[in-house]
Amino acid sequence: MPPADLPAAKLSAARFLPLTVMLLTPLFFSSNLIFGRSTIAEVAPFTLACLRWTAAAVVLSPFLWRARTQVRLYLANHTVHWLALGFLGMWICGGGVYYALQFTTATNGTLIYTTSPLLVILLERLFFGRATSLREIGGIAVGFFGVSIIVLKGNFAGLADSAFNRGDLMFIGAALSWAGYSVLLKGPRTASLPVSALFAAVTLSGALLLAPFALWEYLSGASMPQTWTAWGGIAGIVVFASLLAFSGYQFGVARLGASTASVFMYLLPPYGVGLAVLVLGEPFESYHAIGILTVLSGLVLATAPGLGTKPRVPVSASDPALPPAQPIAPSAGKVSSSQ
């Protein structure tokens, strides 16, 4: 190899690992609803969420200890904010989502949940006066039209007679909750915390809020994990959908930059739907295909970089482990967190 080609070869090799990691990271995030759907028959929803975030909090506790001074100040000065993040991101988007999976498919949940970045734009517009371009408004309208296709199963003619699936409606509420979580996570209250310490603090908040409901499920005789299948599902949620997904995204941002890493998040809907069909055997109807194309079109139109407005990071609402939408320009180590 000529000497002049060596730097280019080294650069390509250096990018190969982070690019590979970022191809896998959306797959890890998408696995949350797949593991949840397959495990919910054996584990009560709030118990499942509590076990997930308690395990994550334990694993992430060294980050809390390392930043204990900043964390102590944050908890003392912004207790309500800390609890609100745990409620929105881990209680509703944890136990609430697993509860909803008892009534709808992972396919529907994935596609509905994907619209949360559009809701982030709306909330910032409504509560913080964020300027919204016509392109973003158009993307939001297209994305919500895609959700209506999925919820109505493509049958707009029978809208008046439709019986809405309550699981689908819960996922709409969860997407709104995740958007609120994403908006609250940004700002001066959390600016002093390293991202890993902040994520650890929020997982702890979620675990504490979920614990009383998990105890209630236990005392009321709800399903508890007893088989290797159930514990395997819980382990999959903790390891793949939480720890590997979050760390993979952080690694990608650090090595590739937030704008490049964010592009890979558009793989979440096809990954999630593909897993639901292949692993769970869920049916894939024509309205799912139309819905996924419509939702993705709206998402790209409203959030993709390089289309004339300030770029934004697309968000996974399938998992609170994923950093929320924010302007793409932070330093590699300061990208905030879902799922």
- Residue 72: other Cβ atoms inside 10 A: 11
Is residue 113 within 8 A of residue 317, CB to CB? The reply is yes
State how far Cα 147 lies from the chain centre: 17
pLDDT of residue 334: 36
pLDDT of residue 124: 81
Q: What are the residue ranges in the chain where pLDDT is below 50?
A: 6, 309-311, 313, 317-318, 321-338
pLDDT of residue 268: 81
The span from the CA of 134 to the CA of 131, in Å, is 10
pLDDT of residue 333: 35
**For the chain, domain boundaries:** 38-303
Amino acid, res. 155: N
pLDDT of residue 63: 93
- Residue 43: other Cβ atoms inside 10 A: 27
Sequence-separated (6 or more) residues with CB below 8 Å from residue 203:
53, 56, 57, 60, 86, 90
Q: In this structure, what token pair is assigned to residue 233?
A: 């599902």
DSSP H or E run through 39: helix 6-39
Q: What is the DSSP letter of 161?
A: G
Look up tokens 């979050």; give the residue: 246
Look up tokens 């894939």; give the residue: 284
